[in-house]
């Protein structure tokens, strides 16, 4: 949603960047792990 709100193109690079940003913002162990796993999945194209 934040990519759309910011008017950014929906593509793999922007999704990965946003997931990484959210992982840093969340900061707790579980949220960070989930975010890192999501980045790995998106980068592998699964």
The predicted model gives 12-40 an average pLDDT of 75
Backbone angles phi, psi at 31, to 5 degrees: -60, -40
Considering the entire predicted model, what is its pTM?
0.58
Q: How open is the CA angle 4-42-19, to the nearest 5 degrees?
A: 50
- According to the model, what pLDDT value does residue 30 have? 63
Q: Give the chain's mean pLDDT.
A: 78
Confidence band, pLDDT 50/70/90 cuts, at residue 38: confident
- According to the model, what pLDDT value does residue 7 have? 93
């Amino acid at each position: 949603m934040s990519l759309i709100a910011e008017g950014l193109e929906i593509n793999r690079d922007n999704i990965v960047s946003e997931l990484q940003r959210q992982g840093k913002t969340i900061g707790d162990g579980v949220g960070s792990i989930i975010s890192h796993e999501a980045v790995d999945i998106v980068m592998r194209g699964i």
